[in-house]
Amino acid sequence: MRADSNWGEPPSLTRRVEHFLSGAAPRQSRPNHQRNPDVIDLRRNDYISLSGHPSIIDAQIAELKGGGDNIYMSAAFLSESTMQRAVERKTAAFLGTEDAVLCQSGWCANVGLMHAITDQHTHVYLDQFVHAGMWDGARSTGSSIHPFRHNNPQHLEDLIKEHGVGVIVVSSIYPGNGLVCPLADVADIAVRHGCELAVDESHTIGVHGRHGEGLVSALGLSEKVSYRNFSLSKAMVTRAGMVAGPARIIDFFRYESRPAIFSSAVLQYEIAGLAAALNVIQEEDWRRERLRANTLSLRAQLANSDFDVLPDGSQIIPILAGVDGDAAEFCAALARNNLLSTVINTPDGSVTNSFVRLSVNSSLSAEDIEGIVDICARTRTQRQSADARQRA
């Protein structure tokens, strides 16, 4: 191998890599605190704390010990009698849709949905903060893409009036900033203009609704929403994704979505875990109640400590980085004080507009929440003092 390790690289790649390695590009802090019992971990999306639930673990173990008939091939070849189809039908019934299809990941669900329902003749209206998989899927089909300002129904409607009928794509909760989509307004626009509406419910399935059916169901909008797609690695603690909608389109998806066709099927033990998770989500409503209480409490206490957070909102709470806006540094400082958070970089990629994200879960105690607020306030004070010393 040549000594100059970047030999043969395109100049554009070299520039991008050197920009990243220089530290100019924001990157995630990765503190190694997993085994420290004093650490509070708010990085995970396990909102209702199902990770390690005995019913889910037992179902997975039973399938593994039983030597389940794993199908190491594309799910397009699965018959109607498989466990996967049974769980898909069970999920559809849970959501109140005609059918559902299991995908290898949330990314595959998002990209695949766009493959199935859009082409070069389709106008696609995407909220600017919607998941990257939706953007990439729409781009790959040659769709006419029209981004609209985040959570701005009026801008969406103006674009539809200008360009015509198409597919609207939003998230019910946006994981970057934790904001809730004005779904009722968006759904009314879709109906008024004859558009299809696809809603990414990754961060609301298991969290919202009477038994965790998601925000679309909770708001009574099921009849106005064409497709619901979501990752199962959030509240459902399973490594897969799902798309739900009309039976004829879902069946078409299985043979038209490139991720569905050209990826191997989800393994049987994972499907068994998903089936068990669906049961737990519907049976243990107290988990959602506890999550809601924890979210309200943490938001209120952070606001009382002069952090710029809304008093009500989703279980995802963004807080500004503090003195200089360097979210990576603030995240690392929080970790040194035993609070693990996530760095979120805004679409413009600038360090000064980044923040840290706290993902609330149902297993937090009142003492944990008080500790979180104390750590955030203490870390802010420490950084303010360090900044003042540096200026002096």
Please report which helix (H) or strand (E) contains residue 162, including its range: helix 153-163
Mean local confidence (pLDDT), 152-156: 98
Cβ atoms within 10 Å, residue 127: 23
Band of residue 296 on the pLDDT scale cut at 50, 70, 90: very high
Q: Quick one: tokens of 325? A: 């806006």
Q: Quick one: tokens of 370? A: 């008080």
Position 7 pLDDT exceeds 80: no
Mean local confidence (pLDDT), 282-287: 96
Strands 123-127 and 166-171: parallel
In b/e form, how buried is each residue of 337-376, taking b as 16+ CB within 10 angstroms?
A: ebbbbbbbbbeeeebebbbbbbbbbbbbeeeebebbbebb
Position 30 pLDDT exceeds 90: no
Q: Say which residue, 321 or 270, is predicted with more confidence.
A: 270
Mean local confidence (pLDDT), 18-39: 68
Residues of the chain with CATH 3.90.1150.10: 26-48+285-391
Mean local confidence (pLDDT), 39-55: 95
Euclidean distance between CA atoms 343 and 313, whole angstroms: 19
Q: How many CA atoms lie within 13 A of 151 on its CB side?
A: 9
Of the candidates 52, 50, 55, 65, the residue with the CA atom closest to the CA atom of residue 269: 65
Q: Quick one: tokens of 322? A: 């503090």
CATH class in words for 54-283: alpha beta
Given CA atoms 8, 13, 18, 20 in this order, what sign does their dihedral have?
A: negative
Q: Could you name the CATH architecture of 26-48+285-391?
A: Alpha-Beta Complex (3.90)
Band of residue 29 on the pLDDT scale cut at 50, 70, 90: low
Of the candidates 279, 299, 283, 280, the residue with the CA atom closest to the CA atom of residue 291: 299
- Indicate the residue type of 113: L
Task: Name the strands in the sheet holding 316-320, side by side, starting at the edge strand that comes first in the sequence.
Answer: 316-320, 355-359, 342-344
Predicted local confidence at residue 3, as pLDDT:
47
Q: Say which residue, 57 or 177, is predicted with more confidence.
A: 57
Q: Which of 40-49, 102-111, 256-265, 351-360 has the lowest mean pLDDT?
A: 351-360
Q: Say which residue, 128 or 34, is predicted with more confidence.
A: 128
Residues of the chain with CATH 3.40.640.10: 54-283
Q: What angle do CA 362, 368, 372 make, to 5 degrees?
A: 110
**Average predicted confidence (pLDDT) for the chain:** 89
Of the candidates 375, 223, 367, 209, the residue with the CA atom closest to the CA atom of residue 288: 209
Predicted local confidence at residue 355, as pLDDT:
84
Mean local confidence (pLDDT), 379-392: 79
Please report which helix (H) or strand (E) contains residue 112, including its range: helix 106-117
Residue 335's DSSP bridge partners are none
Predicted local confidence at residue 351, as pLDDT:
44
Cβ atoms within 10 Å, residue 327: 29
| 366-391 and 286-304 helices, crossing angle to 10° | 30
Band of residue 324 on the pLDDT scale cut at 50, 70, 90: very low
Alpha carbon 384 to chain centroid, angstroms: 32
Predicted local confidence at residue 75, as pLDDT:
72
DSSP H helix total and E strand total for the chain: 14, 12
Of the candidates 167, 165, 121, 159, the residue with the CA atom closest to the CA atom of residue 143: 121
Euclidean distance between CA atoms 161 and 164, whole angstroms: 6
Position 356 pLDDT exceeds 50: yes
Position 34 pLDDT exceeds 70: no
Strand segments (E) across the chain: 40-41, 99-103, 123-127, 144-148, 166-171, 196-200, 227-231, 241-245, 316-320, 339-340, 342-344, 355-359
Q: What angle do CA 134, 138, 141 make, to 5 degrees?
A: 145
Given CA atoms 108, 113, 119, 125 in this order, what sign does their dihedral have?
A: negative
Band of residue 350 on the pLDDT scale cut at 50, 70, 90: very low
Band of residue 16 on the pLDDT scale cut at 50, 70, 90: confident
Position 246 pLDDT exceeds 50: yes
Q: How far is CA 268 from CA 110, 158, 240, 280, 380, in A?
A: 22, 46, 12, 19, 47
Position 2 pLDDT exceeds 60: no
Position 90 pLDDT exceeds 50: yes
Given CA atoms 362, 292, 317, 231 in this order, what sign does their dihedral have?
A: positive
Mean local confidence (pLDDT), 102-117: 94
Euclidean distance between CA atoms 319 and 302, whole angstroms: 9
